[in-house]
Structure 1
Amino acid sequence: MEHPLSKPDKMGKSRLFRIFLILGSVFMILLIIIYWDDVGATHFYLHTTISGPHSSRLPPEGHAAPKQKSEEDKDGSFLSDIDAFVNQFLEGTPDPTEQVRGETPPGETHNQSSEKPEERFVPRREWKIHLTPIAIEKKQRQDSRKQMIHDLCSSNSSLDFPGKNRTFDDIPNKELDHLIVDDRHGIIYCYVPKVACTNWKRIMIVLSESLLVDGVPYQDPLDVPAELIHNSSLHFTFNKFWKRYGKFSRHLMKIKLKKYTKFLFVRDPFVRLISAYRNKLEQENEDFYKRFAVIMLKKYGNYSDPPASVVDAFAAGIRPTFSNFIQYLLDPDTEKAMPFNEHWRQMYRLCHPCQINYDFVGKLETLDEDAEHLLRILRVDNVVEFPPSHRNRTVSSWEQDWFASIPYESRKELYKLYEADFRLFGYSKPEKLLHE
């Protein structure tokens, strides 16, 4: 018996299906072309890595609560990352020593701006015009710092440390959560706690416009509420790529690393440890007390049952000493339980300088000069200024006093633990601390 659907019928249905498939594909392509012509091209122009002067708008008067941008507003849908992908085929970024993008050319005035007349903007500061090249000594300083990292990361170097020879793809996503991305200006910042990261995060919030008050982004970094600066939802980090882009995340990371300007700031490793202890363990901090201080008091401070809260502990004069803190760092069981907290984790483990070719390496010891130099390289010095330095800063001259109570052998072990940070970032070996 012949099947209900004869062979010619089957062929006809198959042909009809293919025709519909082809027509559907053509229709989708036309929709994409129309969308790109009407919307996409404009979006691409707004979100390329070229950063012109952003009109400074003062937030309206009043005390309206700041709000974060929605996910749709924050990332400009998926297009801002397609922009980055397209940018890899464009010409390279101009030399940072050239005239700042978006500056008012000689002979023109700001009244010739293309801003809509109905929009009222209040200038925050006059646009800066840099016609002179960046000082040669500043360039040489950067070249020296970057060359140091390059040489010590090479396979021929005598310096060895965990993770040195792995590739970028080998780094787990959770170890990329310190790399903050600003797609508006094409910037990637690797933040290191206790190295001016609070102020640099303020800068990133202003540049990315990720925090609004009455629909207007903050213009002055110091206006950003202190309690929101370290709010992770305000910072788009590499660690968040997987959730948003899935299997395309690593590819997009590599595109941004190649195209964007990448920077970090570092500090003398031992001085950074002193600063971390002063800020997180010597002061009343409930979170750090429960997570770390209680462990230190029990294991190294001879307190079998320390107070449950930091308020009670400090009222009784109970707190871990700096010596207890160093014992905690040197104890092999510490990292068996969990990785070092970010405030005392080695800087190379936070920022991966052997896998990421940083364009700028700043130091806390030369913060003011480096910040000015960097903002000019980023071509945003006409948009934002780095906040004044905090003067109550832990300094290297204090090292001798702080480490006086630390046994000689422990100092040697501690240096070995942080040796990669010392050498990669050009800090001298603390000889005075390492000799009896």
Structure 2
Amino acid sequence: MGRRCWRQRVLAAACLGAALLLLCAAPRTLRPVFGNRALGSSWLGRERRSPLQKLYDLDQDPRSTLAEVHRQRRDLLSSACSRHTRRQRLLQPEDLRHVLVDDAHGLLYCYVPKGGRAPTGKRVAKPAATPRAIPAHEAHAPGRLPSLADFSPAEINQRLRAYLTFLFVREPFERLASAYRNKLARPYSAAFQRRYGARIVQRLRPRALPDARARGHDVRFAEFLAYLLDPRTRRDEPFNEHWERAHALCHPCRLRYDVVGKFETLAEDAAFVLGLAGAPDLSFPGPPRPRGTAASRDLAVRLFRDISPFYQRRLFDLYKMDFLLFNYSTPSYLRLH
């Protein structure tokens, strides 16, 4: 009886391992996908072409300048993954929590908070939604679109092979500065400050006033960075998604992304994805306000000005993979040497 039970466990473990191996080894060449009726998606089985098929068509057209830009970004990402990543663990379904599924349009979107002005993909499935029509507290609310982690391994693999997969990223330190400003320095972030700010103050400011220890409303940028670099932070729990590294949220060296959008070219990249989706009911946030990208850099320059070279180097090492994978240069305002 014991031996039989042991054999059943071994068989179950082998089946699970095979399923997870398929899950994280679902790379595909960019090619048209036909006959995927088993997914039950509203666009599958119709005459119109899927977003992934449209991207394949554009890749064959030398006149498509924007398609060439995104092909180069895919190639750069693939090359960086080959150079800078070693053998990695198998992905678990929970690793796909940030990849959202839009079955209606054949899209997979890995959302990176602070990667743009708003979590673009979370409103992809909301017909005729305008960016300002969705309150901030709802933009990140679970349930707007299902997560890829909620599906079975077979369903995950079907979608990875048939759907257009995209994400939007941002210069890592500008994203970090934006997260600090919006989540820890603004008065409307009281709940976030009580959860994270109070923890930072209690750990790093021994003589803090009782009000600061309770509210966490006056966290300094240097304290925030020290909290990120403290080994206890990630040992106690994963980074919050607003300052977690983009590659740790989206696993771009394990999942193939067809479109890598960037905050710096948000308008063009969003229009490109919408064109591939070919659905009038979709809407993306507008591009950053005039001087938006310049203001983003100015904020980072101002905040990092008072950070010592020692902490700048340590922080750069922490976020280095995002710089390398998404082809961002080392910021000129850093003093790393």
From the superposition, tell whether residues 92 and 373 of structure 1 become closer, same or farther in structure 2 (CA, over 3 Å).
closer
Cα distance in 2, alignment partners of residues 276 and 194 from structure 1: 7
1:194 pairs with 2:104? no
1:361 pairs with 2:260? yes
The normalised TM-score by structure 2 is 0.77
Matching residue within 400, 412, 424 for 2:325: 424
Q: Flag the structure with more relative contact order, 1 or 2, with Cα contacts below 8 A and sequence separation at least 6.
A: 2
**After superposition, where does 1:162-311 map in structure 2 within 5 Å?**
165-166=87-88, 170-196=90-116, 198-206=118-126, 218-222=127-131, 224-226=133-135, 227-241=137-151, 249-284=152-187, 285-304=189-208, 306-307=210-211, 310=215
From the superposition, tell whether residues 302 and 235 of structure 1 become closer, same or farther in structure 2 (CA, over 3 Å).
same
Q: CA deviation at 1:49?
A: 7.2
Q: CA deviation at 1:331?
A: 0.9
From the superposition, tell whether residues 234 and 337 of structure 1 become closer, same or farther in structure 2 (CA, over 3 Å).
same
**After superposition, where does 1:15-414 map in structure 2 within 5 Å?**
46-48=42-44, 94-96=53-55, 136-154=64-82, 157=83, 159-160=84-85, 165-166=87-88, 170-196=90-116, 198-206=118-126, 218-222=127-131, 224-226=133-135, 227-241=137-151, 249-284=152-187, 285-304=189-208, 306-307=210-211, 310=215, 314=217, 319-380=218-279, 382-391=280-289, 394-414=295-315
Q: Indicate conservation of the 8 Å contact 2:101/2:148, yes or no.
A: yes
Amino acid at match of 2:324: R
Q: CA deviation at 1:188?
A: 0.2
Amino acid at match of 2:285: P
Amino acid at match of 1:384: L
Amino acid at match of 1:48: L
Structure 2: any 5+ residue segments left out of the alignment? Answer: 1-36
Amino acid at match of 1:219: A
Q: CA deviation at 1:50?
A: 5.4
Look up the match of 1:5: none
Q: CA deviation at 1:47?
A: 4.9
From the superposition, tell whether residues 401 and 173 of structure 1 become closer, same or farther in structure 2 (CA, over 3 Å).
same
Q: CA deviation at 1:289?
A: 1.5
Q: CA deviation at 1:97?
A: 7.2
Q: CA deviation at 1:405?
A: 1.1
392-401 or 179-188: which moved more? 392-401
Q: Indicate conservation of the 8 Å contact 1:49/1:186, yes or no.
A: no
Q: CA deviation at 1:373?
A: 1.2
Q: Indicate conservation of the 8 Å contact 1:180/1:190, yes or no.
A: yes
Q: Indicate conservation of the 8 Å contact 1:180/1:238, yes or no.
A: yes
Cα distance in 2, alignment partners of residues 191 and 177 from structure 1: 10
Q: Indicate conservation of the 8 Å contact 2:169/2:263, yes or no.
A: yes
User: SS of the counterpart of 1:142?
Assistant: helix
Cα distance in 1, alignment partners of residues 196 and 302 from structure 2: 24
User: SS of the counterpart of 2:109?
Assistant: strand
Amino acid at match of 1:142: H
Cα distance in 1, alignment partners of residues 184 and 75 from structure 2: 36
Look up the match of 2:11: none
1:172-213 CA-to-partner distances (Å, cap 9, x unmatched) read 33221100001111100000000127351453232xxxxxxx
Q: CA deviation at 1:306?
A: 3.6
The alignment of Structure 1 onto Structure 2 pairs a total of residues equal to 292
User: SS of the counterpart of 1:398?
Assistant: helix
Look up the match of 2:34: none
Structure 1: any 5+ residue segments left out of the alignment? Answer: 1-40, 54-90, 100-132, 207-217, 242-248
Amino acid at match of 1:234: R
From the superposition, tell whether residues 46 and 362 of structure 1 become closer, same or farther in structure 2 (CA, over 3 Å).
closer
From the superposition, tell whether residues 321 and 44 of structure 1 become closer, same or farther in structure 2 (CA, over 3 Å).
closer
Aligned-residue RMSD, C-alpha: 2.9
1:258-297 CA-to-partner distances (Å, cap 9, x unmatched) read 1100000000000000000000000132332222111211
277-286 or 396-405: which moved more? 396-405
Cα distance in 1, alignment partners of residues 79 and 102 from structure 2: 29
